[in-house]
Amino acid sequence: MPKRNSVRFLMYSLSFMFLCLSIISVNYAQNGAGDLSGRYRGVFLIRDSTEVPFNFEIRNDQKVFFINSTEFFETGKATLVGDSVLIPIDQFDNILVFKKQNNNLKGVLRKQDGSGVPVAVTADRNILYRFQNSGAAVSSDISGTYDIVFHSTNGVDEKAVGLFKQQGSKLTGTFLRITGDSRYLEGITDGKNFKLSSFIGSSPGYYTGSIDKDGKITGEIIGARGSQKFTGVLNENAELPDPYSLTYLKKGYSKLDFIFPDLNGKKVSLSDPKFKNKVVIITITGSWCPNCIDEAAFLSPWYDKNKTRGVEAIAIHYERNTDPAYVSKVVGRFKKRFNIHYDQLIGGVADKQFVSESIPALNSFLAFPTIIFVNKKGEVAKIHTGYSGPATGEHYELFKKEFNAEIDVLLGE
């Protein structure tokens, strides 16, 4: 064959090959990712027999959103590999691993590195409800604010506040505890009984109970690792202890003395020049903590808007695994997700006693997150324990109002 014809034949062959590959790629995208899009009803099986439903959506771009009440919480992108569907949940270092059978998925929720005990889960496409209603008449309206008591086996009960809103048989709500809120809960009332659940990628939450003719609630939280009973009574004035009174400095202290490394290993302390004559917000946080996620979603854009006013911020992370590579991965993801531009420091392991020991000026440590306000002199002005996020409605709005008011006072000093 002449040389010119050989070259021409080779070019035709390559063009045909690339065309075939393009067709295969398009078909894979259409028959793979396209086949996954839609709304799903998932069900976790915890503690052998308890079913905890949740809802999620896979969009045409393969992005996955967990749906709880009015919130669409974005996680990773779904990937179809053969008959397997993988949904990474980087925020919590978890992954959903399914086998696909038509419109049904069956698999597990597990850690990305395969450690721990996996939780069985199934999901059905195009099923929009969460809990299936038995059809029993709704006996009462649970809407309102409640004094809640979480009962402990060691005899130390915990006061909380329940916020519920009912429309027909649909029920939404949350619980406020001194450590933070339960975020967005969604469920139903069924006769005199109620059910609520939530899932954003960490561990599924399930709340069930009943309300009697006098309006008293009796219920139970059921999780993968245990359960806890609670009771409640309607009280529109129900409230928690003042979050600014729970954590404070020990006698003799006025400042915090710490030195922690950032993600690059650089040691950072409040005595560094960048914090001199600045108001500093310190948050004690963790990438694994749902309330810390809500706090970062508020604090990151707030900092970008206010940093030119003479404000700095520091996040001190306490993580469940202190392996340097792991910490770099999860804190790096946290920083990227919330577009954080303030210092991210590594405090150590996510243990309350450890936090107290690593920041010895604190009288104790009760909750992730805890926010510490530092004035221009480097002195601690206020400490806020826990976090009431957007699911708490007016409580969240009050927090933001108080937060901004405190910053204004400190900047004016």
- Average pLDDT score over residue span 364-369: 97
The reply to whether CATH 3.40.30.10 applies to domain 260-412 is: yes
Say what the pTM is: 0.89
Whether pLDDT at 86 is above 50: yes
Of the two residues 116 and 311, the one the predictor is more confident about is 311
Of the two residues 25 and 43, the one the predictor is more confident about is 43
Q: Are 40 and 124 in contact (CB under 8 A)?
A: yes
Write out pLDDT tens, residues 262-283: 999 999 999 999 999 999 999 9
From the number of C-beta atoms within 10 Å of its C-beta (0-12, 13-18, 19+), residue 333 rates as middle
**Beta pairing, strands 311-319 & 279-285:** parallel
Query: Please, which pLDDT band fits residue 308 given cuts at 50, 70 and 90?
Result: very high
* 320 three-state secondary structure: coil
Phi and psi based region of residue 125 (left: phi greater than 0; alpha: psi -120 to 50; beta: remaining): beta
| Rounded distance between C-alpha atoms, residue 255 and residue 14, angstroms | 70
| Rounded distance between C-alpha atoms, residue 34 and residue 100, angstroms | 13
Q: 71 - beta bridge partners?
A: 68
| Rounded distance between C-alpha atoms, residue 411 and residue 188, angstroms | 47
- Average pLDDT score over residue span 51-57: 98
Residue type, 39: R
Write out pLDDT tens, residues 128-185: 999 998 877 777 889 999 999 999 888 789 999 999 999 999 999 999 999 999 999 9
Structure tokens at 367: 């909750």
Structure tokens at 123: 């999901």
Among 386, 360, 359, 356, smallest CA distance to 371 is for 386
Question: What values do phi and psi take at 314, rounded to 5?
Answer: -135, 130
User: Mean of the per-residue pLDDT values for the chain?
Assistant: 91
H-helix or E-strand containing 145? strand 144-150
CATH superfamily membership of 144-234:
Quinohemoprotein amine dehydrogenase alpha subunit, domain 2 (2.40.128.120)
Residue type, 150: F
| Rounded distance between C-alpha atoms, residue 198 and residue 132, angstroms | 16
Q: Are 195 and 106 in contact (CB under 8 A)?
A: no
Fold classification of 35-125 (topology level): Lipocalin (2.40.128)
Residue type, 260: F
